Structure formats: C-alpha cells, structure tokens
Amino acid sequence: MPRRKTRRPWIDYLVYLAVRLVVAFAQTLTIAQSYALARFLAWVMYKVDVRHRMVGIENLRLAYGVRYDDPQRDRIVRSVYLHFCMMTMELLHIPRKIHVTNWRQYARLVGHPPILDRFMTGGPMILLTGHYGNWELAGYLFGLFGYPTYSVARTLDNPYLDRFLRAFRERTGQRLIPKSGGYDQILEVLQSGQALSMLADQDAGQRGMFVEFFGRPASTHKAIALLAIEHQAPVVVGVARRIGPGFRYEIRCADIIQPGEFNGSAEDARLLTQRYTSALEELIRQDPTQYLWLHRRWKHQPQPRRARAAIASGE
C-alpha cells in the first residue's frame, strides 16, 4: 500500500502567501488589465500543462468524434485555458464590482422566475451546474438578492489556503459544506427547506451510476438524485455562460426537474440523473470553449458483467 505523503506546514504556508500576493496584485488591476494578465497566464499554462492539455484534446475526441479535427480540438483547448484564466480574474473582482444596484451590467437572468418563487415560498431545492462558464457567479447573485445557497465543495489539502478560499467564496454569498464528511449538513439544509448547490459533472468512480454524456457512459454521483427524491426537492439545472463582450454573463435556468414527475420505480434515480446530465450536455454544446474539458470525465467505464461479479464475490 503506497505511503501517504507527509505534508510540510511551512511549504503550505509559503504557497498560501504566494496566492495571497497574486490575489492582492490582481485586485489592483482594472478588469481590462486583468484580462491581459489572463491571456498571458493561459498561454503559459497551455505550454506547460501538457498532461491536462492532452486530456482535453482526448475528451473532445470522445465527445465529438470526427466533428472536430486535431487543429480544431487544439484551438478549443487553448480557448478553455483562456476562459478559465479570465474567469479566475473575474472572481477576484466580483465582490468589489458587482452590487445590488449595478448587477445588470454584468449578468442577465433567463428562466429564473420559478427559482425565485421557490426561494420566497420556501422548500428544499437543489441547484445543479457543471464546470462550465462561471459557476460561482450565480451563487454570488442569489446571495446578493438575499437568498444565499449552500455549496458542496472539496476541502483543499492546504489548510491555510482552504481557510482563505473558503472565506473569499463565502464573501460572494455562499455557505460551503465539505464534500467529505458533510452529509449531515446536507441533510440539515434540505430538511430546513433551503437551497443546496452542487457541481454535477464529476467522475464518481467505478461504483458511480453510469449515464450517457455526449453518447458515452459517464460515472455520475447517484446521491443527488436520491436526495432529491427523498426530500422532494426540485432539481434546477443551470449555467452562467459568458456572452460578452468581456465581463458579461447569461444566468440561464435550462431545466427544472420535479421528483414527483417520476412513478416511484427503482429506475427513478437513474432517470433523474440522466435527465440533468443531458441538460448539462445541451448547455455545453452551445459553447464548448467554456467547459473544463481538462478533467477526466470518462475516467471510469462500466465493467463487463463477469468482472463485476468477480469483484462482488471478492475473487
């Protein structure tokens, strides 16, 4: 069994200080200057981060087949690096730039009335998005409107950086629940009739629920559907998509899935999971340059029945 690396607090603290310096510098820039820095950082990351670049190109091949040739896939991956560097810069400016009096300069809401009605009347709700566009922006806006959400997020290994980023994100109207060990908090949020926000496009390992994503089986966390069914919480699928020019987004509600639509069969969780996964796919297809193709979405694939039976029997 491989030995777990021993973390060195002084290295963690130096990394934390470096991040604080970068954040402080970026916040002194105008948004135009920040975008210029983002273009430089995207160029550097594209050149240096060969492993994730190749993951992105392979993911595009799996998702789109022959629709894109190699140069087109490469251009999309370059654009992905640029988009997420720009998004990072925007996140550093959000608390200072976007206020309740000027938010319309930066975002427009599409399909939002049912969500706001749910916030006002009360009742549990699950807000789902993926690593697409600017997924932090919607949470910030809901908090700005007086409806903060609870977001499930992985705790960073660096404790100094985790505390800093947690405090920064909570300034944007969110409350964070750790992905590992936060199940009781998740239940408390839903039982108290509040909104839970989650990213729904992460590989869930070999034991996840496999549903179709771009025509290929993708391991997906089944807990989202099970929580929605148990608590009768509507599942809202949406994204914050850059529409430009510059710092301007469309916050779109693409689908609202009511657990009551299903008939109470054993397949309900799979049907609900497939529906929100298909809704995310449709949104991503509108602009693939805003999706994080750099993570291994199809890392795990369904095993043949014989292999599954051997694993179950402990052979």
Strand partners, 240: 251
Residue type present at position 249: Y
pLDDT of residue 168: 80
Residue entry with tokens 């470096």: 18
pLDDT of residue 139: 87
The alpha carbon torsion through 180, 241, 84, 64 (nearest 10 deg) reads 90
Residue-range domain boundaries for the chain: 9-302
User: What are the backbone dihedrals phi and psi of residue 144, each rounded to the nearest 5 degrees, phi first?
Assistant: -65, -35
pLDDT of residue 1: 47
Cα(46)–Cα(77) distance, integer angstroms: 8
pLDDT of residue 8: 82
Cα(74)–Cα(89) distance, integer angstroms: 23
Residue type present at position 245: P
pLDDT of residue 44: 97
> What's the angle, vertex CA 71, arms to CA 70 and CA 74, rounded to 5?
85
CB atoms within 10 A of CB 279: 22
Cα(189)–Cα(196) distance, integer angstroms: 7
CB atoms within 10 A of CB 81: 24
Look up the pTM and report it: 0.90
User: What are the backbone dihedrals phi and psi of residue 79, each rounded to the nearest 5 degrees, phi first?
Assistant: -65, -35
Cα(218)–Cα(233) distance, integer angstroms: 24
Torsion region of 181: left, alpha or beta (phi above 0 gives left; psi -120 to 50 gives alpha): left
Strand partners, 307: none
pLDDT of residue 240: 96
Q: Quick check: helix, strand or coil at residue 43?
A: helix
Question: What number of helices (H) and strands (E) belong to the chain?
Answer: 11, 9
Cα(98)–Cα(78) distance, integer angstroms: 28
Q: Output DSSP code: residue 182.
A: -
HEC string of 239-298 equals EEEECCCCCCEEEEEEEEECHHHCCCCCCHHHHHHHHHHHHHHHHHHHCHHHECCCCCCC
- Strands of 149-153's sheet, edge to edge? 107-110, 249-257, 235-242, 125-129, 195-199, 149-153, 174-178
The alpha carbon torsion through 143, 147, 153, 158 (nearest 10 deg) reads 40
Are the beta carbons of 278 and 212 closer than 8 angstroms?
yes
Q: What is the mean pLDDT of each run of 10 residues along the chain (315 residues)?
A: 66 91 91 95 97 97 96 98 96 90 95 91 95 92 89 90 86 82 94 95 95 97 96 96 93 94 92 97 97 96 68 52
